[in-house]
Amino acid sequence: MSRTTLIIRNDLKRRLRAPMATILFLVIPLAMTALIGMIFDPGSGGETKLPPIKLLLVDQDKGLAAKFLVGAFDQKELKEMFQVTMVDAAAGEKLMKKGKASAMLVIPEHFSDDLAEQKVSTLEVVKNPAEEFLPGVAEEFANTMAVGLSAIAQVFADELKVIKSASKLELEAISIAQMTPLLEMARVKIIALKSYLSPLLLQMKTSTTAKSPKGTGAAAQPDTTAAPKGFNIFSYIMPGMLIMFLLFIVEAFMREIQNERADGKIRRMMFSPLTTRELITARLFSGWLLGVLVCSLAMAAGTLLFGIDWGNLLLVFLLVVASCFWCAAFFGMLNAFFKNKNQAGAFASPIILVFAAFGGSMLPLEQIPQSMRWIAQFTVNNWFIMGCREIVEGGVPYLSFIVLSVSGLVFAGVAMVALQRRLST
């Protein structure tokens, strides 16, 4: 057995022998994920229901399409999801300013006419900035509705013109007798469309983070690549928690170098045929391996406990490998510049907390002020969280892989040179 392997084996054996610290760092992110997740859904285990979304509806059109849209919220599934209040624009704005609703959906004037005439119309969603998830869901719903209505308007253009010409007067001014044939036609069409709308309405529930612009164009194109999945809030929270505690685990492990310097072990090792290069390589590898093991276990636990779907497992594993390498190399490098274990302990925790705060572990990146978001690019948290999201969405996080691997290699190189100097004095 090589000396490097001997040290790695010894390091891991010692971790297994006294696993409490590692277990604690494994359990805490799971517990925090569970806690935060349960705030949103106290009863569920896996797939999470959102609390009713308070939605203000401003109908400035009052036409057929607008009524169709408003009526959609009376459907059973949407009734459970949205708590709709019809308001006028002024009252809606006041309520939004007071934070009384998650979002306000504004149906513009001439919305029905524009649709019938195949003109572009805009549904406006005003989001409550104090809330993170619920306005996003409302926005995504509006987007989906816009896509559905656009499709209806385009496919059934001729029928809509007939309906429109039959209802030139305001709907309220038409008698029931006049309305009956129109309603019957509309009903037939709506029944015919139901099978098309239903999947869209169901897709709305699956939407995760909304990235669509503030005003949603009615002519927007549907995202046909996104596979319909259940919105699982735990999968949104856990990557951030996991990477934060991974930093703590790897940091605590890499700080062992300082302890071993202080208690004479390094001196004893350096007196053996072991070289500093072998020792540093072993330590970086052990830190990396420990991180990968703990992270893999935590992710497996996340799947079992919270039903988290991490996406392509091979890609997730590669992301974990790259992130753990970054952590081991980064803290290896830092320990070369710390004079002793006290200094290492004093500096490491604030560094991790800054990473967590600005990298998206504590707050979603979207909540961080725009002027400070650039800091995230220098944190492993950001690249890990973004990578996880990209994998879940079916993509390959090339940028995360490149950034983590390249910067990890640079840190490892610096660690190798600087630690050799530190350990030989």
The secondary structure of residue 45, as a DSSP letter, is S
Q: How many residues bind other proteins (CB under 8 A)?
A: 24
- How far is it, in rounded angstroms, from Cα 7 to Cα 283? 8
Residue 80 binds to other proteins (criterion: CB under 8 A): no
Provide the minimum distance between the beta carbon of 284 and other proteins in the complex, in angstroms, as a whole number: 18
According to CB under 8 A, which residues from 2 to 41 bind other proteins? 3, 6, 10, 13-14, 17-18
Listed residue (351, 398, 399) closest to 379, CA to CA: 351
Residue 211 binds to other proteins (criterion: CB under 8 A): no
| The only residue of 95, 219, 270, 418 in contact with other proteins, by rule CB under 8 A | 270
**Of 224 and 424, which CB lies nearer to other proteins in the complex structure?**
424
The answer to whether 317 touches 280, Cβ cutoff 8 Å, is no
Residue 265 binds to other proteins (criterion: CB under 8 A): yes
Residue 342 binds to other proteins (criterion: CB under 8 A): no
Provide the minimum distance between the beta carbon of 268 and other proteins in the complex, in angstroms, as a whole number: 4
The answer to whether 178 touches 133, Cβ cutoff 8 Å, is no
| The only residue of 42, 273, 350, 369 in contact with other proteins, by rule CB under 8 A | 273
E runs forming strands in 88-196: 103-107, 122-127
What is the Cα gyration radius of the chain? 28
Q: How many CA atoms lie within 13 A of 335 on its CB side?
A: 31
Provide the minimum distance between the beta carbon of 424 and other proteins in the complex, in angstroms, as a whole number: 6
E strand or H helix that includes residue 362: none
| The only residue of 77, 88, 184, 263 in contact with other proteins, by rule CB under 8 A | 263
Listed residue (94, 96, 176, 169) closest to 129, CA to CA: 96
According to CB under 8 A, which residues from 274 to 313 bind other proteins? 274-275
**Of 35 and 262, which CB lies nearer to other proteins in the complex structure?**
262
| The only residue of 247, 269, 284, 376 in contact with other proteins, by rule CB under 8 A | 269
Provide the edge-to-edge strand list for the sheet that holds 53-59. 82-87, 53-59, 103-107, 122-127, 215-217
- Answer left, alpha or beta for residue 311, where phi above 0 means left and psi between -120 and 50 means alpha: left
Please give the residue ranges that form the binding site for other proteins (CB under 8 A): 1, 3, 6, 10, 13-14, 17-18, 262-275, 424-425
